[in-house]
A and B are shown apart, each in its own frame.
Chain A
Amino acid sequence: MKTISKTIIKTILSTALIGSVLISSASLTGCGEQKPASKSVYLLLDTSGTYTQELAKAQSIMNYLLATLDSGDSIAIARIDSGSFNEKDIIAKTTFDSRPSTTNNQKRVFKQKVDTFVDNLEKGSFRTDITGGILQAADFVNETQAGEKYVLIFSDLEEELQKGHIRDFPIDMQGIQVVALNVTKLRSDNVDPREFKNRLNHWQERVENGGGNWRVVNDLERLDRMFVQN
């Protein structure tokens, strides 16, 4: 009887000890933390007029995104042209594989595609359909069902629509973070700086009315501000 009780005590103590080791190990591996949400990022590149000169900066943004995103995240880069609500405007898109080695290869291929596009771009589009691009972006990020959805707009935010294109309707941006990057000032902004403010306010209003979140990051040295710190 004494031996049995001794064995039971020993077994309980062993189990408790191994359990505590397991729990402490689990806590070391981040048990206390929340499961990180997957990200979905859609980068819109303005290729209209003189803004094409800024595309080199867009490449550095893309590199930052590729370095930051991880397995399970999605990324797409599309151009803003005269009619942007179109899959043909997507330069490259991918959802990174769960295996790190495959993810690295996907990143390489992605970078290659975007570099080729930038290198081969000779002249910009005549018009700038930003709304179409945003609608396309919202569709993409919603489709990925990611926990964090971002639409990055690399543009001066001056929309010029083709005749007949209807874009003056509310856009659904529920749960999407919209970040305007490198919003350059136009020549007319210098004449009346209020135009620049009005332009920014107009887009902020449209995004926020659609349920989205609006931010502007003009300092490309601080790209870490793009993503919301959870």
Chain B
Amino acid sequence: MSQANGYTAAHSRLQRVLHKLPLKRINWGRQLVISMPFVWLAVFFFVPFLVVFKISLSETAIAIPPYTALIELEDALLNIKLNLGNYLFLWEDSFYLEAYLSSIRIAGVSTLLALIIGFPMAYLIARSESRTRTILLALVILPFWTSFLLRVYAWVGLLKKNGLVNDILINLGIVSEPIQMLQTDFAVYIGIVYTYLPFMILPLYTALEKMDMSLLEAAEDLGCRPFQSFFLVTIPLAMPGILAGCTLVFIPAVGEYVIPALLGGSDTLMIGRVLWDEFSLNRDWPMASAVATVMLVVLVLPIMLLRNRKEAE
């Protein structure tokens, strides 16, 4: 009997212990799905960024790869060499600051232009009948079917001295001599606005399409004139779309390389071009990496802060 008693006692003790263990089943499938975007970001954004950051702390060398190692093991002596010279150089030479500011200016003006052009278009699409709406939306997306590079090259053909635009202007008698449009900032603005306009229209359209039309009627009932209700009702409701569109245009435009390289003049100073020159022309990988790191920090930090504040609201 006593032996049996002892057995049950042990059994119940075991059960108690087992209960305390956190053996709740984990839903692995769910965890996997949730973690995918983070894994993606880590592999394709964070790790490459760390590599770039690491190179920015080294020095150029004539070797494979063309920069010095940060960590060296020499006679059981671990040497860690961090070179902050690239960042100091960035700071000391006003050239880079000017390039950053000029990029931000060009991107800012282009974003504003894209908003001014894109808003009426998005408004029209959102207010049109559902069948025409599908066609109009398809037309907005259609340019993506051709390579971005080809479309920029097409602008070279349009804007050059004996190109289509100058031909038309001369034939209409508006100008007598062809105007130099290519290789100017003007051409860069055209290129950026043209390329990124769909990125402005689509978020604007989504925001405007969701808008409840009865709100406008209510505003009118309360004595608002059409333009007042536009600024007091439509714009605030479209704000998330405006912010999303502006972000989608501004960020890639700041780092744009292809458009200023093909359409801009030699004096069009943009950071994407400076970065390319550092990397390929000057063959200075560490400096190019430092420029890239600073660009990322300068751009990403304010945007993340903006995001956080918006979410907090």
Q: Do A and B come from one complex?
A: no
The interface of chain A, by Cβ under 8 A from chain B, is none
The interface of chain B, by Cβ under 8 A from chain A, is none
